[in-house]
Structure 1
């Protein structure tokens, strides 16, 4: 028996102390705490895209929570993702651009590539 159902692909995660998370930005989890792209490393897990900004610059770990949306999002293509990469993992080259290259496991994972268009790459974000 299920205890509950999530609506609309929303999640909420505790924010790392000292961090500001912008609205409509990719959010990562590092050791279970939400951080922006700038604080993400190769161990970071992409949680989704923030609905609103959250300011935890003066707070301790977990003082604030950020709401994120999971699902498919379109990003720029670094130029190395092709149709043959559908179903493979994409990596963030920067906050707005995806690559098929992990840069020797130094880039955070974005998610699974679901479609490649002339103007970008669709990827399924979130955990």
Structure 2
């Protein structure tokens, strides 16, 4: 293509909201950690190795009776506080800057659970209420 010779309206996206189609037979609750599977459809985070965690679901979306992609879910990127895992897999302040792993749609852990969990994001902070993860 040739270089521009006149102004061009170039559309933009902020990058802080995504709206992927939701996997069929799936319900994602508002406030859940949300991901896309290997097929590119949105699902709640869970213990699985094929997920790409996107962030926090901004709405509850019920695609229980729909086909893959029949509805979309608004998912925000940013830094969100999730529940901390228990015992030896609990995240501490010493882990800030490391990768956290998804246990379910609201819990993160220090380890990948012997290669059974997907990366949730980077540990941004830890407090007495949970773990702040950057997505």
TM over 0.5: yes
Determine helix, strand or coil for the equivalent of 1:14: coil
CA deviations over 1:60-107 (Å, ceiling 9, x no partner): 111111111110001222253222211110012333222111111101
1:35 corresponds to: 43
1:93 aligns with 2:103: yes
- Structure 2 residues without counterparts, runs of 5 or longer: 1-7
State whether residues 34 and 105 of structure 2, in contact with CA within 8 Å, keep that contact through their aligned partners in structure 1: no
Q: Which has the larger radius of gyration?
A: 2
Flag the structure with higher strand content. 1
Determine helix, strand or coil for the equivalent of 2:122: strand
Offset at residue 6 of structure 1 (A): 2.4
1:73 corresponds to: 80
TM, length-normalised to structure 1: 0.84
RMSD of aligned residue pairs (Cα, Å): 2.2
- Structure 1 residues without counterparts, runs of 5 or longer: none
Distance 1:76 1:57, change over 3 A: closer
